[in-house]
């Protein structure tokens, strides 16, 4: 009997050790582009543990002068910040087994004008398969177009053998000044972003060759019920859940303008249902039934992988909402940080699949990590991490 007990104890101990070994590795790799000095950017990489603690990846920071980032878990892509290039190339990197970056090569962005001497690639978005990369490009029409606010979405196919990009098409019907990152539905069929000056939500459809085709710049209008007389509204940011619904921030103001125009503003969270046959949206959200955020001048939204929690970031910090696709969002927390999030229309938030929310704040030169569940939101051990001038954030779960 004693021998049996000893054997059983040894088996249990071995099983426990194996379980610890299985969970002791990183759960995600996180990458931040940072303004190191002057016009020189670097990329900082971290391995995130199960409790949210970050360890800098060997070799980080890398002296790669990048601004906007995207990763599909195998490769990382970055638009350049180099003065002599200024976004005219998208650089490709292989992610090594420890998360380190290995430079592969560059892809020159294309345009529908006579040259690309004036083009600048900015926000980068990958589809959910990691097969196509979409870049918002300023002056997409080339130097012939004098209006520097002219922009478009360019589509690239990812060569999964080489990590380089193949140009597919340009969507030059997107209205100008449309700087916010795209969000794609879970099925990859449609992409959305706030339209010109927040006037609507742009809808783009993925075509058979992977490129995006502009459909329209209208959207389901939120109701006027309860809205103060004389107030106007516009959309600020969009995020998609896994069940073909959208969360969007709606800015209401006394003078009808958007960011910082009026001291009398309210940011509210609307819920939109997408018709997957044509990309159109419907909503039951109105001024009176939508929750108001404590985050003024919202700059980014991020949906948790579960689709049940929504992070909202802006001038007053970050707040968490419960997202209900069949009804209205509800407040989950107050401000979990008061560090302002006011980046240049780039990705400022990222959720991994282990309940961690990552936030960069240019105001306090930091990367914050929170462990967020349905019932709590706490800053992870070691957070915040000092990063000078963070620009953009991306990551992938393991």
Residue 344 class from Cβ within 10 Å (0-12 exposed, 13-18 middle, 19+ buried)?
middle
Please name which of 199, 112, 187 lies closest in space to residue 153, comparing C-alpha atoms: 112
**C-beta separation of 311 from 318 below 8 A:** yes
User: So where are the chain's domains?
Assistant: 25-179+352-362+379-398, 180-343
Please state which of the four CATH numbers 3.10.20.90, 3.40.50.11740, 2.130.10.10, 3.40.50.450 is assigned to the domain occupying 180-343: 2.130.10.10
Question: Alpha carbon 187 to chain centroid distance?
Answer: 17
**C-beta separation of 204 from 215 below 8 A:** yes
Question: Phi, psi at residue 331, to the nearest 5°?
Answer: -70, 130
Q: How far apart, in whole angstroms, are the C-alpha atoms of residue 90 and residue 133?
A: 10
Q: Determine the pLDDT at residue 12.
A: 44
Q: Determine the pLDDT at residue 292.
A: 96
Q: Determine the pLDDT at residue 263.
A: 62
Q: Determine the pLDDT at residue 344.
A: 65
Other C-beta atoms within 10 Å of 324: how many?
Answer: 16
For residue 68, what are the CA distances in angstroms to 57, 65, 355?
20, 10, 24
**C-beta separation of 27 from 18 below 8 A:** no
Q: Determine the pLDDT at residue 215.
A: 87
**C-beta separation of 299 from 345 below 8 A:** yes
Please name which of 257, 272, 269 lies closest in space to residue 294, comparing C-alpha atoms: 269
Other C-beta atoms within 10 Å of 148: how many?
Answer: 12
Other C-beta atoms within 10 Å of 103: how many?
Answer: 13
pTM: 0.90
Rg from Cα positions in the chain: 22
Query: For each of the chain's 398 residues, which pLDDT tens digit applies?
Result: 445 445 444 444 444 444 433 457 999 999 999 998 888 999 999 999 999 999 999 999 999 999 999 999 999 999 988 777 766 889 999 999 999 999 999 998 865 544 555 677 888 999 999 999 999 887 666 665 555 456 788 899 999 999 999 999 888 655 554 567 899 999 999 999 887 655 688 899 999 999 999 887 677 788 889 988 888 888 889 999 999 999 999 988 886 555 555 566 889 999 999 999 999 999 999 999 999 999 988 889 999 999 999 999 999 999 999 999 999 999 999 999 999 997 666 789 999 999 999 999 988 999 999 999 999 999 999 999 999 999 999 999 99
- What is Dmax (Cα atoms) for the chain? 88
Q: Determine the pLDDT at residue 230.
A: 81
Q: Determine the pLDDT at residue 118.
A: 64
Q: Determine the pLDDT at residue 235.
A: 87
Q: Pick left, alpha or beta for residue 4 (phi over 0 → left; psi -120 to 50 → alpha; otherwise beta).
A: alpha
**SS3 at position 17:** helix
Consecutive H or E run containing 23: helix 2-23
């Amino acid at each position: 009997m004693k021998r049996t007990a000893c054997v059983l104890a040894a088996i249990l101990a071995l099983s426990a050790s194996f379980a610890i070994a299985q969970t002791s590795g990183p759960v995600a790799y996180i990458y931040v582009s940072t303004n190191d000095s002057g016009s020189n950017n670097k990329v900082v990489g971290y391995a995130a543990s199960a409790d949210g603690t970050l360890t800098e990846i060997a070799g980080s920071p890398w002296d790669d002068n990048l601004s906007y980032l995207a990763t599909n878990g195998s490769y990382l892509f970055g638009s350049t910040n180099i003065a002599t290039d200024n976004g005219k190339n998208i650089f490709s990197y292989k992610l090594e087994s420890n998360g380190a970056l290995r430079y592969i090569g560059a892809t020159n962005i294309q345009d529908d004008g006579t040259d690309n001497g004036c083009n600048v690639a900015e926000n980068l978005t990958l589809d959910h398969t990691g097969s196509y990369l979409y870049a918002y490009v300023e002056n997409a029409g080339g130097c012939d177009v004098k209006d520097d606010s002219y922009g478009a979405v360019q589509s690239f196919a990812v060569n999964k053998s080489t990590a380089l990009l193949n140009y597919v098409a340009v969507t030059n019907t997107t209205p100008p000044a449309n700087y916010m990152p795209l969000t794609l539905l879970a099925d990859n069929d449609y992409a959305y972003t706030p339209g010109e000056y927040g006037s609507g939500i742009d809808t783009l459809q993925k075509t058979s060759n992977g490129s995006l085709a502009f459909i329209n710049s209208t959207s389901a209008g939120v109701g006027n019920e309860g809205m103060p007389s004389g107030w106007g509204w516009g959309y600020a940011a969009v995020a998609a859940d896994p069940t073909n619904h959208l969360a969007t921030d709606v800015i209401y103001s006394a003078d009808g303008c958007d960011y910082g125009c009026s001291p009398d503003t309210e940011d509210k969270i609307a819920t939109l249902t997408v018709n997957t046959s044509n990309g159109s949206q419907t909503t039951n959200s109105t001024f009176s039934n939508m929750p108001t955020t404590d985050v003024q001048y919202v700059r980014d939204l991020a949906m948790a992988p579960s689709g049940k929690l929504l992070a909202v970031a802006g001038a007053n910090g970050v707040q968490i909402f419960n997202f209900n696709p069949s009804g209205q969002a509800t407040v989950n927390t107050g401000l979990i940080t008061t560090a302002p999030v006011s980046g240049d229309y780039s990705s400022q938030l990222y959720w991994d699949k282990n309940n961690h929310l990552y936030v960069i704040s240019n105001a306090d030169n930091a990367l914050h990590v929170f462990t967020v569940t349905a019932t709590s939101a706490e800053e992870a051990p070691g957070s915040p991490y000092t990063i000078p001038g963070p620009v953009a954030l991306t990551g992938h779960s393991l």
